[in-house]
Amino acid sequence: MTVNPEAASINTEYEYGWSNPERYAIKAPKGLSREVVEMISKAKDEPQWMLDFRLKALDIFLSKPMPEWGADLSGLNLDEIYYYIKPEGFNARSWDDVPEDVKQTFERLGIPEAERAALAGVGAQYESEMVYHNLKEEWEKLGVVFLSIEDGMREYPELFREYFATVVPPEDNKFAAVNSAVWSGGSFVYVPKGVKVDIPLQTYFRINAENSGQFERTLIIIEEGAQAHYIEGCTAPAYSSDSFHSGVIEIIVKEGARFRYSTIQNWSHNVYNLVTQRAAVYGNGVMEWVDGNLGSKVTMKYPACYLLEEGARGEVLSIAMASRGQHQDAGAKIVHFAPHTSGNIVSKSISKDAGRSSYRGLVKIYEGARGSKTNVECDALLLDEEARTDTYPYIEIEERDASVGHEATVSKINDEQILYLQSRGLSEDEAAGLIVRGFIEPIAKELPLEYAVELNRLIELEMEGSVG
Amino acid sequence: MTHQLEIKNLHASVGDQPILKGINLTIPRGELHAVMGPNGNGKSTLAKVIVGDPEYTVTEGEVLVDGQNILEMEPDERARLGVFLAFQYPVEIPGVTIANFLRLAMQARKEEGEEVTFTEFYGKLQSALKTLEWDESIVERYLNEGMSGGEKKRNEILQMLMLEPNYIIMDETDSGLDVDALRIVSHGVNSLRGPNLGGLIITHYQRLLDYIVPDKVHIIVDGRVVESGGPELAKRLDAEGYDWVKELATA
Ligand SMILES: Nc1ncnc2c1ncn2[C@@H]1O[C@H](COP(=O)(O)OP(=O)(O)O)[C@@H](O)[C@H]1O
Ligand SMILES: [Mg+2]
């Protein structure tokens, strides 16, 4: 039975669009310069190699033009952004050390509840630093590491340096470069060989200061035969001037390992969300991205799986919702480097009120990747006449013995469906909401219950008054 | 208050094309009336106008449920008054399980602040599934998605049993059913029959009316009721076809 009477009552206190008074220990000047980069590095008390890395990335960033494809970024003024803000009370050891308003923020996000619900390690990011971090003891015994990226760098210097920026180098793209120069905050996860972590590792974070960029950097290493699931959810309060988020997520899935990275992002409607997420997958390893994109002004995000060795598998399930003034340019990348690798992309989008969502995906099969295949399915749902959707499927196949399937559908909520549901007693709004929920169900059912409920709620909020 | 469904001089069109041209019918609770007639003469249109399909414009007349005119009401308000249509072509709602949907539909009938309890829901579901000789796993399926014609029809009756309407309209529920399914579906409808249930059974076939014996039979041709009678009228149609009623319409 899928009926769960409890489901509806979870997270009902959740609200979106609030902010706390700003209070910061260090705030860098606006704009990006060598001084800002040095200030960040100094504040973090980093080794010289990291400062050198940052400065090199800064040069790359400055030398690369803004991308000309994808969403319209002309409203993004990179000189008006604060690239580093360090809140007071960062890296508090226990809940009691966390400042009161920060605590309130967390409470609003339901973190203590999440903990009470015996959810695993809760890492929470406030502004650009980890403020609160907690990892279940038994995992520590197993050798599982779940730390802020800064602590990871400090406590596991060799491991960190071995993998950092190997999956997403700063040369990759302009936004990977800016992140490399000013990164701050994010998670470091290491799961040793053969260790299976069944309860998801979770982190919440949010942007609070107006004009604060958030450049989180996450590095995850899943050793041979290990398994884990990492969940990141985030919200941002509504502000009047544009905000910039550019994260880099690097994941290494070793031979026979299995990893899932789930995100539900709900940025306020003025955020430019330009993220590089990529996984390197080795022999028979499995990487799954489950990606929900709500909110933001512009999102450009294409979770990638590089299938590097035989038998590797990559999956990307994504859902995006765009309403007025928003452009969700989201999709996936699957790159087959080795024989018998397989991929699957399911991308769903909902657009309403002149919102625009695009699927942009790349499937590439290199010569020699015999017997490889990827399936792509993208479904767009339009809620009204003004909404817009388009697909940009890029398929490059260099190997004869390989295949790519691509299927795209565009649908509208049809009047017959509404009538059918209304004739059973549901109001018009409830009927439309239910149809939308059904549309995202294939993605929602992959999320833990409380996240699925939250995803549905966020979509309901976006839907309000969209019919009739 | 009179407990009946009354259709008075009902005229309806699609765009400027008139389809119903003055239908008059009175169905008291406790009675089921069969509606027959050749294809394309307005039977489904009548059913959809009663439930409030905005595709159709009512140009004249009234539809009263227990004395109350429902024509200005939204389809969901009509449903809450106890009107239920088993659609001729039930639509697919991907991703929404039957269980979830049934629960929401039951909840929609409750007063503000009143909840469908799990026991209420589950108890009713068990008994409805038993009546319809259906395995519980069916409610995990998505609403009508990928279902055969017969399964969709049975699913309409499942909803009917769960929602316990006062007035049912069945639009060719029997078409596409094999003999076993026909027996099961009819059994489901008969289990609801009683002094509180009224309704219209739209069908072409006597074989359904052998199971669900109608109190009256009406024949609709060109948007009007051209003949009414008892169960014997359906038997005559079965034997002689529609030719003679078509003549009635042009007479
Ligand atoms: N939505 C519609 N748009 C256009 N024509 C319609 C529509 N619904 C019904 N009609 C027309 O009205 C007439 C009656 O249709 P219908 O009520 O479905 O007949 P029946 O159920 O008796 O076979 C037919 O000529 C049909 O083509
Ligand atoms: Mg019909």
Cβ–Cβ contacts within 10 Å for residue B202, how many?
26
Q: Do B93 and A434 touch (CB under 8 A)?
A: yes
Q: For residue B44, report the distance from its CA to the centre of ligand 2, in Å.
A: 4
| Residues in chain B closer than 8 A to A346 (CB atoms) | none
The answer on pLDDT for A176 being more than 80 is: yes
| Residues in chain B closer than 8 A to A420 (CB atoms) | 87, 90-91, 93
Judged by DSSP in three states, B92 sits in coil
| Residues in chain A closer than 8 A to B141 (CB atoms) | none
Distance of CA A366 to the CA centre of its chain: 27
| Residues in chain A closer than 8 A to B99 (CB atoms) | 1-3
Cβ–Cβ contacts within 10 Å for residue B141, how many?
15
Per-residue model confidence (pLDDT) at position A239? 46
Q: Touching check for B108 and chain A: CB below 8 Å?
A: yes
Low-confidence ranges of chain B (pLDDT < 70): 1, 251
Which residue is it, tokens 């007693």? A425
| Distance between CA atoms of residues A177 and B50, nearest Å | 63
Confidence class for position A107, pLDDT limits 50, 70, 90: low
Q: Which of B100, B141, B105, B151 is nearest to A453 (CA)?
A: B100
Q: Do B76 and A428 touch (CB under 8 A)?
A: yes
| Distance between CA atoms of residues A62 and A28, nearest Å | 19
Closest residue by Cα to atom 26, ligand 1, is B40
Confidence class for position A115, pLDDT limits 50, 70, 90: very low
Closest residue by Cα to atom 27, ligand 1, is B40
Confidence class for position A147, pLDDT limits 50, 70, 90: confident
Most confident listed range (A113-122, A273-282, A447-456): A273-282
Contact predicate A259/A223, CB 8 Å:
no
pLDDT cut 90: percent of chain A above it: 53
| Distance between CA atoms of residues A126 and A185, nearest Å | 9
Q: How far is B243 from chain A (nearest CA, A)?
A: 33
| Distance between CA atoms of residues A187 and B208, nearest Å | 66
Q: Which atom of ligand 1 is nearest to the CA of B172?
A: 21
| Structure tokens, A157 | 């210097």
Closest residue by Cα to atom 8, ligand 1, is B45
Most confident listed range (A63-72, A413-422, A450-459): A413-422
Judged by DSSP in three states, A349 sits in strand
Q: For residue B41, report the distance from its CA to the centre of ligand 1, in Å.
A: 7
| Residues in chain A closer than 8 A to B51 (CB atoms) | 419, 423
Cβ–Cβ contacts within 10 Å for residue A5, how many?
12
Q: Helix (H) and strand (E) counts for chain A?
A: 11, 23
Report the chain B residue with the minimal C-alpha distance to residue A422: B76
For ligand 1, pick from B17, B45, B242 the residue to mutate: most ligand atoms within 8 Å of CB. B45
B95: nearest CB among A421, A425, A442: A442
Residue B60 host element (H or E): strand B57-65
Closest residue by Cα to atom 19, ligand 1, is B40
Per-residue model confidence (pLDDT) at position A72? 86
A50: exposed, middle or buried (Cβ count in 10 Å: 0-12, 13-18, 19+): middle
Judged by DSSP in three states, A53 sits in helix
Strands (E), A207-355: 217-222, 227-235, 243-245, 248-253, 258-267, 271-281, 286-295, 298-301, 304-307, 313-322, 327-336, 342-351
| Distance between CA atoms of residues A438 and B191, nearest Å | 32
Q: Which residues contact A339 (CB under 8 A, 6 or more apart)?
A: A310, A368, A369, A370, A371, A372
Fold topology of B4-250: Rossmann fold (3.40.50)
| Residues in chain A closer than 8 A to B52 (CB atoms) | 419, 422-423
| Structure tokens, A164 | 């950092």
Closest residue by Cα to atom 7, ligand 1, is B14
Q: For residue B245, report the distance from its CA to the centre of ligand 2, in Å.
A: 17
Report the chain A residue with the minimal C-alpha distance to residue B99: A3
Amino acid at A249: I
Per-residue model confidence (pLDDT) at position A454? 75
Per-residue model confidence (pLDDT) at position A210? 39
Region A4-25: mean pLDDT is 40
A410: exposed, middle or buried (Cβ count in 10 Å: 0-12, 13-18, 19+): middle
Per-residue model confidence (pLDDT) at position A451? 76
Domain residues of chain B, as ranges?
Answer: 4-250
Q: For residue B47, report the distance from its CA to the centre of ligand 2, in Å.
A: 9
Report how far apart, in Å, the C-alpha atoms of B197 and of each of A38, B4, B167, B234 are.
Answer: 80, 9, 6, 21
Q: How far is B68 from chain A (nearest CA, A)?
A: 18
The answer on pLDDT for A124 being more than 50 is: no
Region A309-326: mean pLDDT is 95
Q: Do B95 and A425 touch (CB under 8 A)?
A: no
B100: nearest CB among A2, A419, A435: A2
Q: For residue B186, report the distance from its CA to the centre of ligand 2, in Å.
A: 19
Contact predicate A243/A270, CB 8 Å:
yes
The answer on pLDDT for A121 being more than 60 is: no
Region A59-83: mean pLDDT is 85
| Structure tokens, A132 | 């609160």
Q: For residue B171, report the distance from its CA to the centre of ligand 1, in Å.
A: 13
A132-138 contacts, C-beta under 8 A, 24 or more apart? A132/A92, A132/A95, A132/A98, A132/A106, A133/A91, A136/A199
Judged by DSSP in three states, B77 sits in helix
| Structure tokens, A441 | 């169900």
What is the DSSP annotation of A57-69?
Answer: HHHHHHHSPPPSS
Q: Touching check for B101 and chain A: CB below 8 Å?
A: yes
Q: Which atom of ligand 1 is nearest to the CA of B37?
A: 22
Contact predicate B122/B152, CB 8 Å:
no
Per-residue model confidence (pLDDT) at position A208? 42
Report how far apart, in Å, the C-alpha atoms of A175 and of each of A68, A393, B212 are.
Answer: 13, 22, 70
Q: Which atom of ligand 1 is nearest to the CA of B220?
A: 22
Q: Residues A351-392: pLDDT tens digits?
A: 998 899 999 999 999 999 999 999 999 999 998 888 999 999
| Residues in chain A closer than 8 A to B109 (CB atoms) | 425
For ligand 1, pick from B10, B13, B21, B44 the residue to mutate: most ligand atoms within 8 Å of CB. B44
| DSSP-derived secondary structure letter, B30 | T
Per-residue model confidence (pLDDT) at position A9? 29
| Distance between CA atoms of residues A215 and A87, nearest Å | 15
Distance of CA A392 to the CA centre of its chain: 21
Strand order in the sheet with B68-69: B17-28, B4-14, B57-65, B68-69
What is the DSSP annotation of A120-180?
Answer: S-EEEEETTEEEEEE--HHHHHHT-EEEEHHHHHHHSHHHHHHHTTSSS-GGG-HHHHHHH
For residues A450-466, b (16+ Cβ closer than 10 Å) or e, as one string?
Answer: bbbbbbbbbbeebbeeb
Per-residue model confidence (pLDDT) at position A280? 98
Q: Which residues line ligand 1 (CB under 6 A)?
A: B 14, 19, 37, 39-45, 55
Q: Which of A352, A358, A346, A349 is nearest to A380 (CA)?
A: A349
Q: Which of A266, A328, A338 is nearest to A306 (CA)?
A: A338
Contact predicate A417/B93, CB 8 Å:
yes
Q: Residues with Cβ within 5 Å of ion ligand 2?
A: B 43-44
Confidence class for position A3, pLDDT limits 50, 70, 90: very low
Amino acid at A110: G
A435: nearest CB among B55, B78, B93: B93
A221 forms beta bridges with: A190, A252
